[in-house]
Amino acid sequence: MTKATELDRLKDVLDAYGAKPDNWPQDEREQLQAIASAHGAEVAAWLEEARQMDAVLNLVPDAQVPDGAVERMLAKVAVPPRAPVVDFQAARARRSMPRRWIDLRQAVPVGIAMAASLMVGVLAGLSDLTATYIPNTGTISLASVGQETIGDTLIGFETFTLAEGDLK
């Protein structure tokens, strides 16, 4: 590249991209900086003109983000709480509930679970088995402790509570 061609290219780049090498085409940056350094006196006026334009462009302020814009964005992905469903199977596994008493293999609605628990208690002749759903807590308390003999069979039972963590 001749000197004239080099200088012409530097002038074009300054006119288009300004004086900051960071804004120059990456593949020409190093070479153009060398040209500018080598011909300081000749290119001084071009550089000054480009710097002035950069300075004026830099006077433009950053726009303010509208009030509430971030909150509106986050509201778009907020996941609403899902309706509670009792997972009796998981609860039973965690609390070692005697399988002979209640064997609910699948998650069932709260009302059905309560009815089933009470029915077991009545059929077994136990007087103190209770099942209580506590409103607004997502908790079912099934309460009875001890053991009972029915015929020749000794049946053990225990208290457990289905708490909020058992809901999914």
Partner 1 sequence: MEQPLKSAAAVTPAAASVGQVSHLTLLQQVRAGDQQAFGVLVSELFPTVYRAALRVLRHEQEAEDVAQDVFMKIWGDPPELRAEANLKAWSARVATNGAIDRLRKKKPDISDDLPDQVDPAVAADEAMQADEAADAVQQAIDGLPERQRLALVLTYYEGLPNKEAADLLEVSVDALESLLARARRALKAALSEQWQGLLEDFAQGGQNGEGSWKTI
- Which residue is associated with the tokens 């225990």? 158
Structure tokens at 30: 């190093």
**What kind and span of H or E run contains 51?**
helix 40-57
Among residues 72 and 94, whose Cβ is nearest to partner 1? 72
Among residues 45 and 77, whose Cβ is nearest to partner 1? 77
Q: Would you tell me the crossing angle of helices 40-57 and 3-17 to the nearest 10 degrees? A: 10
d(CA 68, CA 35): 50
Residue 25 within binding range of partner 1, rule CB under 8 A: yes
Q: How far is the CB of 85 from partner 1 (least distance, A)?
A: 20
d(CA 99, CA 32): 82
Among residues 21 and 138, whose Cβ is nearest to partner 1? 21
Residue 123 within binding range of partner 1, rule CB under 8 A: no
Among 12, 42, 103, 128, binds partner 1 (CB under 8 A): 12
Under rule CB under 8 A, which residues in 52-91 are in contact with partner 1? 52-66, 69-70, 72-74, 76-79
- Bridge partners of residue 129, in order along the sequence: none
Among residues 78 and 123, whose Cβ is nearest to partner 1? 78
Q: How far is the CB of 3 from partner 1 (least distance, A)?
A: 18
148 φ/ψ angles, rounded to the nearest 5 degrees? -145, 145
| Type of residue found at 69 | A
Task: Please tell me the count of residues contacting partner 1 according to CB under 8 A.
Answer: 42
Q: Is the separation of the CB atoms in 111 and 130 below 8 Å?
A: no
Q: How far is the CB of 71 from partner 1 (least distance, A)?
A: 9
Residue 45 within binding range of partner 1, rule CB under 8 A: no
Residue 136: DSSP 8-state: T
Binding residues for partner 1, rule: CB under 8 A, are: 12-13, 15-23, 25-26, 33, 36-37, 47, 51-66, 69-70, 72-74, 76-79
